[in-house]
Amino acid sequence: MLSHLKVAFMKLYIPKNYKPILNLSQTEKAIKLIKDFFEINLSAELQLRRVTAPLFVLKGTGVNDDLNGIERKVSFEIKDMGGQVAEVVNSLAKWKRMMLADYKIPLGYGLYTDMNAIRPDEELDNLHSLYVDQWDWERHMSPSERNLEFLKYIVRKVYSVLRRTEYLVYEQYPELTPILPEEITFVHSEELYEMYPQLSPRERETEFVKKHKAIFVIGIGAKLKNGEPHDGRAPDYDDWITETGKGYRGLNGDIILWNPILESAFEISSMGIRVSPESLLQQLEATGTIERKELMFHKRLLSGELPQSVGGGIGQSRVCMFLLRKAHIGEIQSSIWPEEMVKNCQKNNIVLI
């Protein structure tokens, strides 16, 4: 029986007696409502202007996001540029910081954009798709704001936009009752390890967020006391090496919510204070990738051309999925799924777009 269990061979979780609250037509209207409202409010809350983003960048410039460093990128040769290779972006973490400099965005202001990516190595399940859509944002900050309290201040602003959007959805669709707590709870990945040393990082998040409903896990990328990082993070955008007290490291993290439909932790955003020239070199050294300092982006950063900044990505489909109480990201976006997954979704009231 498939109900209320994860189908091992295709990593599909079927909630017990699942029935979508909104039909397909209502869902499409609600997706637009959420995206329009969230975008406007994020812009106002963080003082961001919209910019147009690239779908692909040139290989070898250091601009593309390497994620965990093992994922393949979708790439192609450009006929009219002598066969130079372009790569579909994985995210715009580094590109946005360059735009802060190139657009001369003043201190305290920033930019946001729609980021679309293709990630062929994603393990397809309820949350992960080949297609990624995010609001990518970046804000110019001062060197004095390079601290944990400022990061928390920004996280609370982003979270306030999410709660505001949740209430808008409730006004339009009263059956979608708000469930987010008034405050988001902060916890360091090292603290999670100390609380639940016998659990995996994912299981630690689930245990903690089940109690607090909305959390921000600080310190993603640095090794914990057990010698393993909580999760992977590229060495050249977020600062995960700076000490923040109690022997903990990291000026970055993830916003994670408790998803009552999937009964699990549900990440909607990765964000952080970006590397300084000093922390960039430390992180390149720590990951054995010091040769990257010769790439275009890294040279600009090390030469002092790029401003100090804080930024992140917020999953558009994931925000919609959470607020509309959907069981599968394919109920929000159009993508490609394994045939068996499609069949099992059809059998269990999960309407894939």
Q: Which residues contact 104 (CB under 8 A, 6 or more apart)?
A: none
Q: What is the mean pLDDT of the chain?
A: 92
**Which is catalytic among the residues 270, 283, 309, 333?**
270
| Residue 182: both structure tokens together | 């008034």
Mean pLDDT along residues 238-255: 94
239 pLDDT tier (thresholds 50, 70, 90)? very high
- What is the DSSP code string of 155-195? HHHHHHHHHHHHHHHHHH-TTS-----SSPEEEEHHHHHHH
Question: Among the options 65, 87, 166, 239, which is catalytic?
Answer: 65
Burial-class residue 291 by CB neighbours within 10 Å (0-12, 13-18, 19+): exposed
What is the pTM assigned to this prediction? 0.92
- What is the third-level CATH fold of 5-347? BirA Bifunctional Protein; domain 2 (3.30.930)
Is residue 134 part of the annotated active site? The answer reads: yes
Average pLDDT over residues 235-250: 92
User: Residue 6: pLDDT above 50?
Assistant: no
> Measured on CA atoms in the order 153, 155, 159, 161, is the torsion positive or negative?
positive
The phi, psi pair for 92, rounded to 5°, reads: -115, 25
Separation CA 231–CA 84 (nearest Å): 33
Locate the domains of the chain by residue range: 5-347
Residue range 99-140, pLDDT digits in tens: 999 999 999 999 999 999 888 888 899 999 999 999 999 999
Looking at residue 187, its amino acid is V
* Residue closest to 59 by CA, chosen among 98, 88, 89, 86: 86
Place of tokens 């900050």: 141
Rg (CA), the chain: 20
- Active-site residue among 233, 254, 318, 335? 254
- Per the annotation, the verdict on 65 as an active-site residue is yes
What pLDDT score does 247 carry? 85
> Catalytic annotation on 166?
no
Instruction: State the Cα–Cα distance between residues 204 and 193, nearest whole angstrom.
Output: 7
For the segment 311-339, what is each residue's pLDDT rounded down to a tens digit? 999 999 999 999 999 999 999 999 999 99
List pLDDT tens digits, range 41-84. 999 999 999 999 999 988 888 788 766 556 678 889 999 998 99
Sign of CA dihedral 38, 41, 47, 51: positive
CA distance 125 to 10: 7
Token pair for residue 118? 């293709």
Residue 347 pLDDT more than 80? yes
| Residue partners of 35: CB distance under 8 A and separation at least 6 | 316, 320
Identify the DSSP state of 255. Answer: E
- Residue-wise pLDDT for 180-219, tens only, equals 999 999 999 999 999 999 999 999 999 999 999 999 999 9
Q: Which of 134, 154, 311, 159 is nearest to 239 (CA)?
A: 311
**pLDDT tier at 162 (50, 70, 90 boundaries)?**
very high
Q: Which of 43, 91, 97, 119 is catalytic?
A: 119
Instruction: Give the pLDDT confidence score for residue 19 in this predicted structure.
Output: 95
The pLDDT value recorded for residue 73 is 83
pLDDT at 306: 96
Residue 89 — pLDDT band, cuts 50, 70, 90?
Answer: confident
List pLDDT tens digits, range 163-174: 999 999 999 999
Question: Is 175 a residue of the active site?
Answer: no
Question: Is residue 254 among the annotated active site residues?
Answer: yes
Is 144 designated active site?
Answer: no
Distances (CA, A) of 293 to 114, 143, 186, 322: 28, 21, 33, 39
Find the catalytic residue in 43, 91, 129, 134.
134
